[in-house]
Chains A and B, each alone.
Chain A
Amino acid sequence: MTGSSENNNFLQRLLPPRKWRMAATIAVGAFLGLGFYILKLSNAASYLSDDPKACVNCHVMTPQYLTWNKSSHREVASCNDCHVPQDNFFNQYYFKAMDGLYHSTIFTLRAEPEVIKAREASAEVIQNNCIRCHDTRITDPKLMATVEDHEVHRTDRTCWECHREVPHGRVKSLSSVGYQIEPIPMYESEDRDVIPKWLRAFIEETDEEQDSIAAPQKSQPAIPE
């Protein structure tokens, strides 16, 4: 009982005096409202997904997105497959949250470097993820038996010390992007069609006509079968 009365006390002490309650309610409401607005504005829900497009919500990741999008990994691995631990659910989201907060802080402070590099913690995660998919390749007993110092070479360095182009290429920076439109959500309309509008209109028009016109008569082949 004491706990509850203390709690009551505490809450009561938080409550502003009666004549300020209105102002305080409005201030808290504004706080919450703005908070939700920011969640929406920053596309916060997209960060719960594995969609690489979430990573280009901020344009500083464009070089990384573009290089990945033009690599063989595009077909098999999303950003999260490599850059977030995949050992267990809690670790995955904890790391993602911490990394995300770090990114958003740096980005908000406009402190992003021209060339983004993986931090140590991040590098470890990436290395583990390389191994996660390519384990049969690097632990292949044939290679162990035939390639000199195979064990050493694959354990005393990161994969990308040799495989430098994978997958983001050797040279990348904010200024090496050039003008490119990529199909990222911001630029892609919802009614996207592989056929331009004028041609779509024509095709639909002929479809309607064909329904009203009888199928063309086959003429008799002059060449005897």
Chain B
Amino acid sequence: MKNWILLLLTIIAVFLLALLANTIIDRKAEARFAYQPKVEIEGIEPRDSVWGLNYPRQYQSYRKTADTTFRGLYSTSGLADVLDDQPELVVLWAGYAFSKDYNQPRGHAHAVTDIQATARIGSPWTKGDGPMPSTCWTCKSTDVPRLMNEMGVTEFYSQKLSDLGSEVINPIGCADCHDPATMNLTITRPALVEAFEAMGKKVTDASHQEMRSLVCAQCHVEYYFAKDLPGKEGAQYLTFPWKDGLTVEAMEEYYDNIDFADWIHPLSKTRMIKAQHPDYEIFQMGVHAKRGVSCADCHMPYKTEGGQKFTDHHIGSPLANVENSCFVCHREKKEDLVSDVYERQRKIKEGTGYLQKQIARAHIEAKKAWDLGATEAQMADILRGIRHAQWRWDFSVASHGAAFHAPLETSRIVSSATGKIQEARIGLTRLLAELGHNEPVEMPDLTSKEVLQKYIGLDMPAELESKKRFLEEVVPQWLKEGREREAATLPGNNNRKIR
């Protein structure tokens, strides 16, 4: 009898154990759905609005990058005409598209519309038209990883900007930095991976905190288009000049070694380098980077909403959000923190403002020397001085944030550039005197954008007129084609699975 009871008890115990196993399986199944996104993101999804169905808070805060109301001491998130503000830049960039049109940058949400609207890309009426290669799209859109995947990376770099007009319609967004399956940060641009390889490093080894800067470094860096690389003929291959280091001197040497020039200056005949926007490189040389702060720590601080803590995707100036960004570490008055930033910006601007006017004069003086019959040998050292001075000046201003990201490094760069341009101008003065011109060179009105644009031979009214028509006739067509192509894969469409 006892044995019967024992057997019965064992059977009951086994039964209960099985029940327990059952609830564990149940609850594990629950975990697969609890807090889990509802829309399956398929392939490389370029549309933020689809990701936004799963991550409304991140999406909605990211939408705020469309905001144009921020005003800093010199910067704004709206469109401000920099050439109007600092007309001498027209002379610095003569012969290069930046002399036509250069605005303060707006937020990520405007990336595609702003590049379509700038006079820099001209008015390409048909596919294959226009001065700019497709490589220009690389940092503008989530359609880029999709296209690179579809057509191949080298092929993507081998077209004209206008060829991909209807393919690239979504501005920078979710798919540029996130893996849709895990939402982990991810690197989608080949140039950064290749730059790390060139330095003998592996981007895969980056920690999460480093990734919070590296996703930005996919674009916010110095770069150039390498033409006709072996095996990549016909491509304008996006490359970061990082092989020898991230300092301004290391990159300068890199460019000198491959004798690279973005363009030849029509006034001074200098082989010029255009610095792009080395935000990441300069930030690495500042005290915040040294202390392990990432881009996202200040530009995308944590935010709490209805009990949920998440990363604020409204990327912009931390000065618009001092409480969430600076206050995490600095327990100072907001006014003090803001004025600390402005102080650095003001002091650096003193140097760069003076420097850029000197460079403008040097270009015009060099033109005078050529006009008076200077020889290439006489000009060589001078042109090299102008090349390096303007490259260094550009390196210190082009990223907009340098004065705060690394004030000491930036003022060091500005000092070195000032020295170089003054030496060049001393050389020019001597040369001009030798050529019989022993008086100041006559300057155009350096305070008027219009006068200077005419001086360097631009017909801006005609360019702008054609641009206006381009925006009215071509761009809407690009958008229409793009939207039609996308409509087939919208969520809710039958071709699409919803979990």
Q: Which residues of B contact A194 (CB under 8 A)?
A: 184-187, 203-204, 206, 211
If over half of B's interface residues share one DSSP class (helix, strand or loop), that class is named, otherwise mixed; here it is helix
Interface residues of B (CB under 8 A from A): 2-4, 6-7, 10-11, 13-14, 17-18, 20-21, 23-25, 27-28, 30-32, 34-38, 44, 54-57, 145, 148-149, 152-153, 179, 181-188, 190, 193-194, 197, 203-204, 206, 211, 229-231, 256-259, 271, 302, 304, 306-310, 380-381, 383-384, 387
Please tell me if A213 contacts chain B, counting CB pairs below 8 Å.
Answer: yes
Which B residues are CB-close (under 8 A) to A207? 197
User: Do B190 and A202 have beta carbons less than 8 Å apart?
Assistant: yes
Task: Known contacts A17-B3, A194-B187, A195-B187; decide if A221 and B256 are in contact (CB<8 Å).
Answer: yes
Q: How far is the CA of A221 from the CA of B383 in the complex (A)?
A: 13
Are B308 and A27 closer than 8 Å at their CB atoms?
Answer: no
A223 in contact (CB, < 8 A): yes
* Distance between Cα atoms of A186 and B308 in the complex (Å): 22
Q: Are B193 and A187 in contact (CB-based, < 8 A)?
A: no
Q: Taking the complex as formed, is A30 at the interface, i.e. its CB lies under 8 A from any CB of chain B?
A: yes
Nearest CB of chain A from residue B33's CB, rounded to whole Å: 9
- List, in ascending order, chain A residues with CB within 8 A of B10's CB: 24, 27-28, 31
Q: Is the CB of B271 within 8 A of A203?
A: no
In the complex, A180→B14 CA distance in Å? 38
Question: A169-B304, A199-B187 are contacts. A35–B179 as well, Cβ < 8 Å?
Answer: no
- Pull 18 A–B residue pairs with CB atoms less than 8 Å apart, ordered by A: A16-B3, A16-B7, A27-B7, A38-B17, A41-B25, A70-B310, A178-B35, A178-B308, A179-B37, A181-B182, A181-B183, A186-B32, A194-B206, A199-B153, A199-B193, A203-B194, A214-B230, A216-B229
Contacts of A187 in B (CB 8 A): 181-182
Binds B, one of A58-66, A87-95, A144-152, A155-163: A58-66
Q: Is A6 an interface residue (CB 8 A)?
A: no
Q: How far is the CA of A198 from the CA of B156 in the complex (A)?
A: 14
Q: Are A37 and B184 in contact (CB under 8 A)?
A: no
A176 to B7, CA, bound (A): 48
Shortest B167–chain A CB gap in Å is 16
Contact A222–B35 (Cβ < 8 Å): no
A:29-53 near B, CB below 8 Å: 30-31, 34-35, 37-38, 41-42
Residues of B within 8 A of A34 (CB): 14, 17-18, 21
The answer, yes or no, to whether A23 is at the interface (CB within 8 Å) is yes
User: Is there contact, CB below 8 Å, between A223 and B17?
Assistant: no
Tally of A-B Cβ pairs under 8 angstroms: 169
> Across the interface, which residues of B come within 8 angstroms of A196, CB to CB?
44, 145, 149, 179, 186, 188
A120 contacts B by Cβ under 8 Å? no
Interface centre among B27, B28, B304, B308 (most CB of A within 10 A): B308
Q: Residues of A contacting B31 with CB < 8 Å?
A: 58-59, 186
Instruction: Give min CB distance, B49 to chain A, whole Å.
Output: 15
- In the bound complex, how far is the Cα of B310 from the Cα of A169, in angstroms? 12
Given A66-B309, A181-B183, A193–B21 Cβ distance below 8 Å? Answer: no
A98 at the binding interface (Cβ < 8 Å): no
In the bound assembly, the distance between CA atoms of A13 and B2 in angstroms comes to 8
A107-B26 Cα distance, complex, nearest whole Å: 12
What chain B residues lie within 8 Å of A137 (beta carbons)?
A: none
Q: What residues on A are CB-neighbors of B57 within 8 Å?
A: 178
User: Contacts A31-B10, A209-B231; is A223 near B271 (CB within 8 Å)?
Assistant: yes
Task: Check A198–B148 contact: CB distance below 8 A.
Answer: yes
Chain B residues contacting A180 (CB-CB under 8 Å) are 35, 55, 183, 310
Indicate whether A177 reaches chain B with its CB closer than 8 angstroms. Answer: yes
Task: Count contacts on A: residues with CB < 8 A to the other chain.
Answer: 64
Q: Measured between alpha carbons, how far is A23 from B11 in the docked complex, in Å?
A: 10
Q: Which of B21, B56, B381 has the most CB of A within 10 A?
A: B21
Which partner residue on chain B sits nearest A27 by CB separation?
B10
Asked whether, in the complex, the Cβ of B182 is within 8 Å of the Cβ of A192, the reply is yes
Q: Given A169-B307, A181-B183, are A27 and B14 also a contact pair (CB < 8 Å)?
A: yes
Q: If the complex has contacts A171-B307, A209-B231, A221-B259, are A203 and B188 also in contact, measured as CB distance less than 8 A?
A: no
Collect the chain B residues with CB atoms within 8 Å of residue A222's CB: 259, 271
- Taking a contact as CB atoms closer than 8 A, the residue among B36, B153, B256, B304 that contacts A223 in the complex is B256
Distance to closest chain A CB from B62 (angstroms):
15
Contacts of B153 in A (CB 8 A): 199, 202
Q: What is the CB-to-nearest-CB distance from B469 to chain A, in angstroms, rounded to a whole number?
A: 38
Question: What residues of chain B lie closer than 8 Å to A13, measured between beta carbons?
Answer: 2
Residue among A62, A199, A223 making CB contact with B190, cutoff 8 Å: A199
Give the complex CA separation of A171 and B304 in angstroms.
Answer: 9
Kindly provide the distance from the CB of B312 to the nearest chain A CB, expressed in whole angstroms: 12
B219 to chain A, nearest CB (A): 15
Q: Which residues of A contact B204 (CB under 8 A)?
A: 193-195
6 closest A-B pairs (Cβ-Cβ)? A176-B307, A171-B307, A59-B31, A16-B3, A198-B149, A181-B183
Inter-chain contacts of B7 with A (CB < 8 A): 16, 20, 23-24, 27
Q: What is the distance, in angstroms, from A53's C-beta to the closest C-beta of chain B?
A: 12
Most buried by B among A62, A70, A108, A194: A194
Contacts of B56 in A (CB 8 A): 178
Contact (Cβ within 8 A) B35 A177: yes
Q: B residues within 8 A CB of A66?
A: 309
Are A107 and B184 neighbours in the complex by a CB distance under 8 Å?
A: no
B307 contacts A223, C-beta separation under 8 Å: no
Whether A67 contacts B309 by the Cβ 8 Å rule is yes
Residue of A with least CB distance to B388: A223
A14 to B3, CA, bound (A): 7
Q: State whether B182 touches A219 (Cβ < 8 A).
A: no
A59-B34, A186-B31, A195-B187 known; A216-B230 Cβ under 8 A: yes
Q: Is A172 in contact with chain B by the CB < 8 A criterion?
A: yes
When chains A and B are docked, how far (Å) is the Cα of A202 from the Cα of B384? 38
Q: Please, which residues of chain A bring their CB within 8 A of the CB of B152?
A: 202
Closest to A71 in B: B309
